[in-house]
Amino acid sequence: MQKYIMHIDMDAFFASVEQLDNPELRGKPVGVGSLHKRAVLSAASYEARKFGVRSAMPVHQALKLCPGLQVVSGSRERYKEISRQVMAVLGNYSPVVEQASIDEAYLDITGTEKLFGPPLELARSVKRDILAATGLTASVGIAPVKFLAKIASDLDKPDGISIIEAGQVQEFLKTLPVEKIPGVGKKGLPRLRSFGIRFAADLRRYPAAFWKERFGERGLVLHEKGAGIDPTPVTVGSPMKSSSAENTFGEDVSDPHVLKTLLLKQSERIAADIRKHGLKGRTVTLKIKFPDFRQITRSRTLENRTSNSGVIFRTGCELLDGEGVLGPVRLIGIGISNFGERVRQLSLLDDEHGREDSERLDRLDKAVDQVRLKFGRNILTRGRLLEDERKD
């Protein structure tokens, strides 16, 4: 049976949602971001892309390229709402749906012909249903393996369908620029160029051992992709590996109090996020970026897993204090990971009161989550944050 993997990629998703919700933005160049001088765009509409504007571009640079750019802050919750609608549509066509990000997903549609017709017909039906459910367009790529399906979805954007049949793979790889292969970054490309590699199929000029010696295990994966081989399956419900939050300042910040206030807000956000998924993490990571773009990360693994914002915050503060006087900071962030179960040996010296306090804090956090879910995030604010607002 011929294997078919489908990749669905929403077109300029964040910007398209903003144009959907605000008719005045339709047909105009739109960027999603903020206007402080160090902000970068998280999305750009196709009207903006005609001017060379793209996601991850500094806003000030985007405005130079396109003075008429409409910059909007966007709503993460709204994007999540639309994303859920898209994923619900996809679930009607295959039980094997892997959400790769908020605006893209893979489906294994092997053997669905009797239900939905040939892959091309199925793709048209998926696009039609997404449009009906959300008012937005999507682009679809179909191929025998995942990485080619992802590449195919980008061949006819926006609102397109591209299919690479099994018998077309080798010819396709002969003209596919090697940098189009997911995972080939800007740093690795010059090295590939030095070996005379221009197209994906060129990777087969050298044996697997050659690539392993120079790139390790990633080299073996690259060698296989040069032949159109990708054994990676479409997986349902890929487990969450980490949760993090960060803020880039409009002006460099040196005040530790300001930095810790941001860490508190971020800790609350990521703690609520992992609680929503029923997770607890053990490794807290602090991220700091300086004005010269130098970056440091510091991590600490806790004795016990936690989803408590206070524990995450205190750990982040301890990591920050451990760095001494930092000077100006451009960005600060905090994250939590290592959600796997850890076998814990109980000791006769365990602190019973400590466990009770932890359980009490867990119950308190969950109660706060419920109140905020019902009445809005700002209905409850920590005393420390209220004190900061009074000082301001």
Residue 242: per-residue pLDDT: 86
Looking at the structure, tell me whether residues 59 and 121 fall in a common domain.
Answer: yes
Looking at the structure, tell me whether residues 138 and 186 fall in a common domain.
Answer: no
Residue 5: per-residue pLDDT: 96
Secondary structure class of 299 (helix, strand, coil): strand
Looking at the structure, tell me whether residues 144 and 175 fall in a common domain.
Answer: no
Positions of the chain with pLDDT under 70:
37, 238-239, 340-392
* CATH number for the domain that contains residue 374: 3.30.1490.100
Looking at the structure, tell me whether residues 384 and 259 fall in a common domain.
Answer: yes
Domain count, the chain: 3
Dihedral sign, Cα of residue 8, residue 12, residue 13, residue 17: negative
Alpha-carbon span 117 to 132, nearest angstrom: 20
CA-angle at 345, arms to 340 and 351, nearest 5° = 105
* Residue 104 annotated to the active site: yes
Q: What DSSP letter does each residue of 113-178 carry, written as one string?
A: HHHH-SHHHHHHHHHHHHHHHHS--EEEEEESSHHHHHHHHTTT-SS-EEE--GGGHHHHHHSSBG
In 3D space, the residue among 154, 211, 207 whose CA is nearest the CA of residue 180 turns out to be: 154
**Which tokens in the block code for residue 288?**
């700091």
Looking at the structure, tell me whether residues 350 and 312 fall in a common domain.
Answer: yes
Which phi-psi region, left, alpha or beta, contains residue 101 (left: φ > 0; alpha: ψ -120 to 50)? beta
* CATH number for the domain that contains residue 201: 1.10.150.20
C-alpha dihedral over 270, 276, 282, 283, to 10 degrees? Answer: -30
Which among 120, 141, 164 is the end of a domain?
A: 164
Residue 43: per-residue pLDDT: 93
Examine residue 233 and say whether the peptide bond preceding it is cis (omega within 30 degrees of 0): no
Looking at the structure, tell me whether residues 307 and 205 fall in a common domain.
Answer: no
Residue 346: per-residue pLDDT: 32
Residue 341: per-residue pLDDT: 45
Tell me the residue range of the domain where 188 lies.
170-225
Among candidate residues 18, 47, 98, 104, the one labeled active-site is 104
Q: What Cα–Cα distance (Å) separates residue 378 from each residue in 265, 368, 372? A: 12, 11, 7
Looking at the structure, tell me whether residues 66 and 154 fall in a common domain.
Answer: yes
Residue 355: per-residue pLDDT: 43
Looking at the structure, tell me whether residues 194 and 219 fall in a common domain.
Answer: yes
**How buried is residue 124: exposed, middle or buried, by Cβ count under 10 Å (0-12/13-18/19+)?**
middle
Q: Is 27 part of any domain? A: yes
Looking at the structure, tell me whether residues 285 and 300 fall in a common domain.
Answer: yes
Q: Is 231 part of any domain? A: no
Looking at the structure, tell me whether residues 264 and 200 fall in a common domain.
Answer: no
Looking at the structure, tell me whether residues 333 and 377 fall in a common domain.
Answer: yes
Q: Is 234 part of any domain? A: no
Residue 277: per-residue pLDDT: 78
* CATH number for the domain that contains residue 4: 3.30.70.270
